[in-house]
Structure 1
Amino acid sequence: MTVLGILNCKMLQDEIVYLILNDPEIKDVTVVENGEHHEFIRKLDEVGKTYSLAPMIHSIPDLSDREKQNDADAGAGISLIVWNLELGLHEKPKILKDEVYRDLEIFAKKADGIYLLYGLCGNVLGHVEDDFKDICPIVILRDPEGEIVDDCIAATIGGRKPYLNLLKSFHGVGTFIFTPMYEDTIDEFFNYAKDRRGLTEEQIVEMNKFMFEASNYKRVARLETGLHYTKDTETKLKRFADTYGFEIFDLDGGHQQIFDDCYQKLKDKIIQKETTAA
């Protein structure tokens, strides 16, 4: 059975639920139990998808230690391992890169290929596929033109060009674009900033108000992704908007095409690797 790993920003857990539900080749799912997994497994429970928990990534056997499968098991399906990383890594891009690279080195010993659900994220992951090309097939989120997406919003609306066109359509009015997971993690994200900078909540709010006003931010767009695994986010969004005096409006156009295409690209890479090794 092929072992496929997903190393992902916690913000993209809904897209993983979607992939699991829509790939009949996936025969079992293992979730790394690292403290960032609770919301993800709750969603799996809600959609009726079974899974097992690994208390830590090191508890999952390396590929070299797995029992060799006989010919009858060849191509029998996919064993999926999902490893959610903490949202707060985005606070410092270098720390994000160091953590992702360190985790990929571990993960590469346990999976036939890894789907990296990140974008450029501060321009620190642009060379990750090449850096690991001799170790393990890795696919990061890329748009139809082959460009690595800037962030999860760009991935959700189809890539760099649609993202740029969308931003231009705001005519200079600063606009936050929130997916349901963005809405759900607003407090968590700002708590990271508060804790790591040693500031009070009031100080964070004042600092944000200054930055938002200087950048002409006035609105929050609720991006419809087509995925509804994250629920009851309206209160958090309204509190955020009210705190900073933002207008809220709905925005259509989200979809999963990039997530589907890159997932298939990884599967194709794994097949190519297995064919070459045979």
Structure 2
Amino acid sequence: MPLLTILSCKILQDEIVHILENDNSVDEILVVGNGQEEDFILKLKKADLEFCLLSPAKLRSDTEKYRNDPEKYTVMIYIVELALHEFPKILKTEIYKLIDELSTCSNGILMFYGLCGNVFDKIESDYAHLEGSCPVRILRDNVRTVDDCVGATLGGCQEYLTTLKKFSEHGTFLFTPMFAHAWREIMRVDPEKPEKTIKMLKKVNEVTGYKRVAKIQTGLTYTENFDEKVDEFAEIFDFEVLEIEGGQSLFEKCYSDIKEELLGKSS
């Protein structure tokens, strides 16, 4: 039975918990303890999902028994830090390094990423040589790879474009629960001197015309205090709060597709 690795942006950890909680065929859940997994592990525990924590230094040896178990289907999760998003070229370099490493201990890799500024536009073709041993897949709709995590949550590229056009009159931040939880980290607010950073962000918002924040209802409740976090953000920047619908269908389909592909190879 295969070992599928989900290589994920930290923002999409709720979507992974949802998939694992709703897939009874998963026999083993492995989490790589690379320093980015704390929140994710707490959510697994709240969902009553058992898991095994692995050291990143010993992945190949520690995963061998799972890869060679003919009776068990295993999913391994590797959460990547948010800070890399500020530097697209570095993000690409680090993700490619991780795929090179993880492909030696996986039967398939599903990237919980979108294009992220087009740095992953050729990821599947760049790893076409692994098709026979460890296929690499990325989040995509029926036509192409999604732009980013928000586009995936909205259901795909066309839905994302429609939403952006709808809000084109004024700049609008689109917040999922995890984005709301981590907005200070994403926007690099200095915890020692938050006032200085927020003052700068206010000026940037004025120049760029951002005046609203929209809550994307994902259907998930693993991240707490979504409304409160959005309201806090809106109050700080004097933004209007809107609400739009998102969902899990794209994540579920991408996961189901590679799972079926891997199980078909192992049967």
TM-score (norm 1): 0.88
The one-character-per-residue Cα deviations of 1:82-134 (angstroms, maximum 9, x if unpaired) are 01000111001001101100111110011100110000111101111111121
User: For the aligned residues, what is the CA RMSD?
Assistant: 2.1
- Alignment coverage as a number of residue pairs: 264
Q: Which amino acid aligns with 1:213?
A: E
Alignment partner of 2:140 out of 135, 139, 142:
142
Q: Matches of 1:165 and 1:235 in 2, distance apart?
A: 27
Q: Matches of 1:60 and 1:106 in 2, distance apart?
A: 9
Q: Which residue of 1 aligns with 2:47?
A: 47
Q: Conserved in 2, the CA contact under 8 Å of 1:3 and 1:79?
A: yes
Q: Matches of 1:241 and 1:41 in 2, distance apart?
A: 29
Q: Which residue of 2 aligns with 1:264?
A: 256
Query: Any gaps of 5 or more consecutive residues in structure 1?
Result: none
* 1:92 equivalent in alignment to 2:87: yes
The one-character-per-residue Cα deviations of 1:195-240 (angstroms, maximum 9, x if unpaired) are 9xxx953332232122211221111111100111111233332222
Q: Matches of 1:214 and 1:158 in 2, distance apart?
A: 30
Q: Conserved in 2, the CA contact under 8 Å of 1:144 and 1:258?
A: no
Determine helix, strand or coil for the equivalent of 2:128: coil
* 1:214 equivalent in alignment to 2:207: yes
Q: Conserved in 2, the CA contact under 8 Å of 1:179 and 1:222?
A: yes
Q: Which residue of 1 aligns with 2:14?
A: 14
Determine helix, strand or coil for the equivalent of 2:201: helix
Q: Conserved in 1, the CA contact under 8 Å of 2:2 and 2:263?
A: no
* 1:1-278 paired onto structure 2 within 5 Å: 1-54=1-54, 56-61=55-60, 65-66=64-65, 69=68, 74=70, 76-135=71-130, 136-145=134-143, 147-191=144-188, 194=190, 200-252=193-245, 254-271=246-263, 273-274=265-266
User: Percent sequence identity over matched residues?
Assistant: 38
The one-character-per-residue Cα deviations of 1:150-175 (angstroms, maximum 9, x if unpaired) are 11111011111111111111242111
Query: Any gaps of 5 or more consecutive residues in structure 2?
Result: none
Alpha-carbon distance change, 68 to 39 in structure 1, aligned in 2, over 3 angstroms: closer
TM-score (norm 2): 0.91
Alpha-carbon distance change, 160 to 206 in structure 1, aligned in 2, over 3 angstroms: same
Q: Matches of 1:63 and 1:270 in 2, distance apart?
A: 21
Q: Matches of 2:253 and 2:63 in 1, distance apart?
A: 29
Q: Conserved in 2, the CA contact under 8 Å of 1:62 and 1:109?
A: no
Determine helix, strand or coil for the equivalent of 2:27: strand
Alpha-carbon distance change, 174 to 68 in structure 1, aligned in 2, over 3 angstroms: closer
Q: Conserved in 2, the CA contact under 8 Å of 1:31 and 1:52?
A: yes
Q: Matches of 2:204 and 2:157 in 1, distance apart?
A: 25
Q: Matches of 1:68 and 1:61 in 2, distance apart?
A: 10
Q: Conserved in 2, the CA contact under 8 Å of 1:149 and 1:160?
A: yes
Q: Matches of 1:158 and 1:68 in 2, distance apart?
A: 32
Determine helix, strand or coil for the equivalent of 2:220: coil
